[in-house]
């Protein structure tokens, strides 16, 4: 079993890469749109970026008790 710090670091790395990918998708969609590219591809790139951002929010935004799902990964299980 991996130590909790390794799991937390790996999860943070994955979320960071996901943020960068979402930004790259939005920038790429904007550039493609400005060049008159296929509107279907632009739309799909924006939708994919929004899905990625929603996934990041699901993992990082705390609930009513103030507990975020990402914080519970490193917590010891009973």
CB 15 within 8 A of CB 56: yes
Residue 78's pLDDT is 62
Tokens found for residue 11: 């999860």
Tell me if residue 58 falls in helix, strand or coil. helix
What number is the average pLDDT over the span 43-72? Answer: 88
- CA–CA separation, 56 and 50 (whole Å): 10
Q: Given this model, what pLDDT does residue 26 score? A: 97
pLDDT band of residue 63 (cuts 50, 70, 90) is: confident
If one compares 73 and 59, the residue with the highest pLDDT of the two is 59
pLDDT of residue 12: 84
What does pTM read for this prediction?
Answer: 0.79
């Amino acid at each position: 079993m991996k130590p909790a710090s390794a799991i937390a670091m790996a999860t943070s790395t994955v979320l960071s890469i996901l943020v960068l990918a979402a930004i790259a998708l939005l920038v790429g969609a904007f550039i493609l749109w400005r060049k008159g590219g296929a509107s279907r591809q632009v739309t799909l790139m924006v939708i994919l970026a929004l899905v990625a951002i929603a996934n990041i929010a699901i993992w990082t935004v705390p609930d009513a008790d103030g507990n975020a799902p990402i914080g519970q990964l490193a917590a010891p299980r009973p």
